[in-house]
Structure 1
């Protein structure tokens, strides 16, 4: 935005140039407006550069601007910002005032200087910048001048609006101005490393907005962070009497972070999972003295447990688009009866892990996670994260981790889970059938049947609240010393061991167990199987699925090591050309026929 009126102006360079709207002149070939909408030095060699714009305001006036120096300044690399100048040419003699930042050694600070002709005199020597040796110095500056000539210099060395007063002085030497200007001296290595943005000159802006609590973050069972809407003063934020936990009393300590918006609180008690508390926050002041209204924050402390929050929907291949945004997403479902804040949780896709920012999932509700640049195209509760991890179309493992790194939910999806060859090709999401049966694997996932191709933020279109018992799917003898067992759900690996598995009523058959997938195991045998002989496998009580469901095995499972002879299994039917379609799916197939009396896999 570029606005100019009666000697006052504002320019954030979002129009992409500095030659229209607010017009800047000088050594214009040495500046550009970069892709971030900032005025940037773009010169070469060792030189000086300046730009100036007409400005005649100086009575009851505020000047406000942001700057960045991507180097440690010195007497050969520094900036001057002329808040008042009677000349457009900032390289020659002039009368006015400027802010200087940068000098030799590490004592760099914001200073106010008066210039008459070619003579400059420092009139305010500000507080040193503790980060003066850094190479990414972002600074916001505010200067005010009253009608009587009282200058006040304020600055925030972090680039925000938590201003510290650098000093005040009364000076009426120069009582006219025609220009505001930016001037910099640089060496060749820093010829592109000075930036300016959000420049304002106009009436003094009076801040009457009270600070408020933005949100509350629960870090641990005895640590909270209160986040405020604007920077607040440390005296109030660091005083434990301004906080009261009920039940629990005053905290043992409170510390305001260097950003001046986050107050960390150490509690005197350990919060109990599932209990509801209230925190009174009072007497907070911003940097101009506005006092926050007393605020009571009610929250439920919650320690994440396995499968409390689950991965409920996966859009791994959004193209060709059906009716949703062309974007990958993951939907989470909160199965708890109270809201859950996932700030600090992690989403892992394959080998890529992303830390999630503040987001609350209401009770028995949903959160859609997608890329930041596309998040606004989704309705409802949406969290955008930068560089959303690529979801493999063929499948990968998605895991949701608590802030401590504990796995809360994990899904190893495959494109075979669509159970639909057409939808597998893109545009349709994978949806969980029963969110209360989180161990079901492929048996509990389907391609969406919603007309939009998915149901982000809504109940799944394939939802069915049917609890399928935990049971065996099959037993296969691979060779004389190996048997594999497939289950219909994910196994709780801590509940199954060799002593629980019998073959022909004998627990001594099994020497060890290897977990092949989340729902299958391999048994290594102490004894050798006899080919074409029927065996009975039984699993004793105690084996559970990943959510605690007990294995249902009413009778032993019969199996054998089948040594096939020629023509035991034959090719029985061939569909080589599926078009034109008659009554079968438009797919080629081969049918096999088992001519024996035995089951073979």
Structure 2
């Protein structure tokens, strides 16, 4: 992760310019340029080039670094992620300035506190004098009440006004959290962070993109990020930062091929100023792939974007368009992959599919997807926040605060934003077909994506030397068509006018729902109504108008 804003040669020589500090840990080291000191043995720079707490047990760990401040308006920025719900016993303090490097001792300075008792945790700004703390301002209640990854910006004017901003998504779209006047001020010479934690959270603090100094200057243009189809004529264009309203709403700055041309209306989202909603005069054709080209849009600092294009399509997702493609339910003992559980999804269509507000359920857990577009033929890993950094090098990852799979006998159900079942799997450890691999360290892989209902006959243990294939083609991929015809397994009477018909395999719900396909003898005729039995559709309930004799 890297800061978008730069000032002169600050990014390359963070301590060589008086009055400025910047560190994005991209060198993989926190002991030089600049040197962070304190509980060094309890921190690492992880594979994502983030500073991470790496401790054990219950404790209080800190790092700090020198920082000299000039007169005038000052700015601080930091990206912070706490992979747990904060509390009085598990929280972080970000020292904006302090008069000594040992943050565990009584000191004078200013800090942000992230975490408190109850469920209304907010970003709080304090002044500390010795061991006494004075609350200066408090942000929105509940903003940091659950696990979060946010970016914080603090501005202090020479006149003593403090303004605290934050972006809940960790980007640069800052919203004001609090503002207050505080006349007392002393610019000390230390910046740092301190983590208070119990044993379960001893590795769940992350920090990045630390800046302290004069207000940052934005010299980088905005870029096109993602596209979201909102309806038959509407398209949401997402940029990497907030954009200027005038250029963002200039319709001639947008052009689509396939005869669409420019939109008739462009409207910057007032609640998300990095997003522009386009309305075209004619509807999109389902299944047609379009390319939108964008140019001339400026950010709030006046930087003009480079011309860019992205594909989009209007496509109504159907069952089995996205598959649960790989299951790592028991990663321990690991073979050569990170020791974390994961699932892999696969887009088997030729269209980019929006997974926003999709839900994956297993057991009592339901995981709501954030905004995300899964490209044609692409894979997506689902795992925990804790495991996200470990899988980042394997491909795209969506992470959740927790992600725990049963080793065997669990039902996984993937639903789209409308609640329709896209794919479901009820896996067992017998599917490994290997007595050794089922004991841990190996994933289950789907063999033939064109046979998504193949169940046990279409899954087996991975053959990859690493133990699995997260983010890439399955090692067991091959042709494995369903050549057998489904049969009726049994029929059970469930009431005086109702029966339930069981089949030997998972059925197509669209064929099951056709009531004309069912006929009973002895004068019963066709059923009056029926009930499908999701998520696997291995049976159907039929209701007749005449009681059984």
- What TM-score bracket applies, with the shorter chain setting the length? 0.5 to 0.7
The corresponding residue for 2:122 is none
Displacement after TM superposition at 1:211 (Å): 1.6
The corresponding residue for 2:284 is 271
SS in 1 for 2:287: coil
Displacement after TM superposition at 1:524 (Å): 10
The corresponding residue for 1:209 is 220
CA distance in 1, matches of 2:66, 2:161: 21
CA contact (8 A) 2:14 2:21 kept: yes
SS in 2 for 1:249: coil
Which ranges in structure 2 are unaligned for 5 or more consecutive residues? 1-10, 39-50, 55-63, 80-95, 98-106, 111-136, 145-150, 176-184, 191-208
Structure 1 315/136 Cα, relative in aligned 2: closer, same or farther at 3 Å? closer
Instruction: Describe the superposition over 1:226-272 as per-residue Cα deviations: whole angstroms up to 9, x where unpaired.
Output: 22222322333244454344415324341234453222334443322
The corresponding residue for 2:231 is 220
Structure 1 508/206 Cα, relative in aligned 2: closer, same or farther at 3 Å? closer
Higher strand share: 1
Structure 1 length as normaliser, TM-score?
0.55
Instruction: Describe the superposition over 1:531-553 as per-residue Cα deviations: whole angstroms up to 9, x where unpaired.
Output: xxxxxxxxxxxxxxxxxxxxxxx
CA distance in 2, matches of 1:7, 1:447: 58
Structure 1 144/245 Cα, relative in aligned 2: closer, same or farther at 3 Å? farther
The corresponding residue for 1:317 is 330
The corresponding residue for 2:294 is 281
SS in 2 for 1:443: helix
Displacement after TM superposition at 1:208 (Å): 2.5
Structure 2 length as normaliser, TM-score?
0.59
1:340 aligns with 2:353: yes
Displacement after TM superposition at 1:336 (Å): 1.4
SS in 1 for 2:230: strand
The corresponding residue for 2:449 is 435
Structure 1 399/223 Cα, relative in aligned 2: closer, same or farther at 3 Å? farther
Q: Point out which structure has higher relative CO (alpha carbons under 8 A, 6+ apart).
A: 2
Structure 1 522/347 Cα, relative in aligned 2: closer, same or farther at 3 Å? closer
What is the aligned length? 416
Residues 15-34 of structure 1 aligned to structure 2 (within 5 Å): none
Residues 113-152 of structure 1 aligned to structure 2 (within 5 Å): 140-141=153-154
Structure 1 5/527 Cα, relative in aligned 2: closer, same or farther at 3 Å? closer
SS in 2 for 1:220: coil
1:519 aligns with 2:538: yes
Cα RMSD, aligned residues only: 5.2
CA distance in 1, matches of 2:239, 2:189: 35
Among 420, 426, 432, which residue is 1:406 paired with? 420
CA distance in 2, matches of 1:381, 1:452: 15
CA contact (8 A) 1:306 1:408 kept: yes
Among 368, 371, 374, which residue is 2:384 paired with? 371
Residues 490-529 of structure 1 aligned to structure 2 (within 5 Å): 490-492=507-509, 494-495=511-512, 508=524, 518-520=537-539
Displacement after TM superposition at 1:55 (Å): 4.1
The corresponding residue for 1:108 is none
Displacement after TM superposition at 1:142 (Å): 5.1
The corresponding residue for 1:351 is 364
Structure 1 350/180 Cα, relative in aligned 2: closer, same or farther at 3 Å? same
Structure 1 475/410 Cα, relative in aligned 2: closer, same or farther at 3 Å? closer
Instruction: Describe the superposition over 1:412-446 as per-residue Cα deviations: whole angstroms up to 9, x where unpaired.
Output: 22334334444333333222232111222233223
CA contact (8 A) 1:53 1:179 kept: no
Structure 1 305/143 Cα, relative in aligned 2: closer, same or farther at 3 Å? same
Structure 1 22/4 Cα, relative in aligned 2: closer, same or farther at 3 Å? farther
Residues 424-503 of structure 1 aligned to structure 2 (within 5 Å): 424-472=438-486, 475=489, 485-492=502-509, 494-495=511-512
CA distance in 1, matches of 2:142, 2:540: 56
CA contact (8 A) 1:356 1:385 kept: no
Displacement after TM superposition at 1:409 (Å): 1.6
Structure 1 385/271 Cα, relative in aligned 2: closer, same or farther at 3 Å? same
Displacement after TM superposition at 1:339 (Å): 4.0
Displacement after TM superposition at 1:220 (Å): 3.0
CA distance in 2, matches of 1:435, 1:251: 41
CA distance in 2, matches of 1:515, 1:162: 45
CA contact (8 A) 2:75 2:216 kept: no
SS in 2 for 1:374: helix
Structure 1 268/4 Cα, relative in aligned 2: closer, same or farther at 3 Å? same
Higher mean displacement: 391-400 or 337-346: 337-346
Residues 381-400 of structure 1 aligned to structure 2 (within 5 Å): 381-400=395-414
CA contact (8 A) 2:78 2:211 kept: no
